Amino acid sequence: MEQIETLIKRIDNDLKDVLSEERYKHCIGVMNKAEELAEKYNVDINKARLVGLAHDIAKEMTHDDKLKYVKENEIQIDDIEKINVGLLHAKIGADICKKRYGFTKEMQDAITYHTTGNKNMDDLAKILIVADKTEDGRTWEDSQKVREIADRSLDEAVIYIIDVSIKNTIDKNKLIHTDSIDTRNKLLLNNM
């Protein structure tokens, strides 16, 4: 991987080309929050900054472009992702970051898991999930509560985020991705 600051500048320029101003600012906020959490939880700060910045690189692709990308790049998707195409931005983003920026498998996994979680995720992936929901620009009802929880436990913060997501998904009568359920259950079992 190239020098960290050079790579950040390159990703930053690419994001400005493919994201709205609001989404771009969110990515900067996630990068900053991920750096803060990585320092607190003794995770590689540079990896945290990079995944935080790049995590939504594919977020604003069109529905059709996402489906085309996964087909052309032979990315495996499940039945829920075929219906909820919005989830695909995580897998596509990880693939783009691997090919364009040389992200490691650990970094790709963090980006892949940031929407649904994964029962095998590491602390870098947990940091990305938490940073995505708690960056300073986030004003959703529970963002401050998650910030407080994250100050004492990454696992508890991820569980809380998943709980809120599952409740919201149920309220909208949409499918819940099984990765979210598996992640929640594993984290709860690990913390009993």
pLDDT, tens only, 98-132? 999 999 999 999 999 999 999 999 999 999 999 99
Share of the chain above pLDDT 70, in %: 99
Length of the chain: 192
pLDDT at 166: 95
Which pairs count as long-range contacts for 188-191, CB under 8 Å and 24+ apart, including other chains? 188/159, 190/155, 191/153, 191/155, 191/156, 191/159
Residue 147 banded pLDDT, cuts 50, 70, 90: very high
Looking from the CA of 40 toward its CB, the CA atoms found within 13 Å total: 17
**Largest Cα–Cα distance in the chain?**
46
pLDDT at 90: 98
Return the domain boundaries, the chain.
Answer: 4-190
pLDDT at 72: 98
Share of the chain above pLDDT 90, in %: 93
Residue 192 banded pLDDT, cuts 50, 70, 90: confident
Residue 2 banded pLDDT, cuts 50, 70, 90: low
Sequence-ordered alpha helix ranges (H) in 55-150 = 63-72, 79-83, 88-101, 105-113, 123-134, 143-150
Least confident of 35-39, 45-49, 70-74, 139-143: 139-143
pLDDT digits (tens, 9 = 90+) for 49-107: 999 999 999 999 999 999 999 999 999 999 999 999 999 999 999 999 999 999 999 99
How far apart CA 10 and CA 53 sit, in angstroms, is: 11
Q: Which single residue is written with the structure tokens 């994964």?
A: 118
Question: Could you tell me the two tokens for 36?
Answer: 């803060």
pLDDT digits (tens, 9 = 90+) for 171-184: 999 999 999 999 99
* Residue of 150, 184, 148 lying closest to 164 (CA atoms): 184
Give the global pTM: 0.95
CATH architecture for segment(s) 4-190: Orthogonal Bundle (1.10)
How far apart CA 117 and CA 120 sit, in angstroms, is: 9
Pair 18, 60: CB distance under 8 Å: yes
The DSSP code for 26 is H
Instruction: Write the single-letter amino acid at 95.
Output: D
Mean pLDDT of 41-55: 98
The H or E element spanning position 117 is: none
